Structure 1
């Protein structure tokens, strides 16, 4: 895989790699995996919220009117 970068990304990658004592490739790898995990988490939270709103929506609405 080829990753095209600009000057800003080059500086950021170099700074992070040096600060963490790892390769620039590892920085990119971690960033992609973190983003992937976070997107799955967001989907799970949204689904859970939807189910809870369906189950407890009437109670929440009454509490809001109190």
Structure 2
């Protein structure tokens, strides 16, 4: 799917710097950044969910340890 991405001058400079640093096109740098953020947020959600499950499972123990 084709789309147009409108960037401010500062955003374009940041994208150009990222692309140059990685030795890729601005298109490739933008795609890589999208995938990186999506993976990071997926990981953060998984960690938060696992933490919540552990806190629920061990609530009694955590309460006793806190005393």
Relative to the length of structure 1, the TM-score reads: 0.88
Q: Which has the higher helix share?
A: 1
Shift of 1:58: 1.1
| Runs of 4 or more above 4 Å deviation | none
Q: How many residues align?
A: 65
- Write the mapping of 1:8-47 to structure 2, written as runs, cut at 5 A: 8-47=10-49
Output the CA distance in 2 between the equivalents of 1:8 and 1:52.
43
What's the CA shift string for 1:6-58, capped at 9, x where partnerless?
01111111111112110001111011111111121111111111111111111
**Which structure 2 segments of 5+ residues have no match?**
none
Is 1:63 paired with 2:65? yes
Question: Which ranges in structure 1 are unaligned for 5 or more consecutive residues?
Answer: none
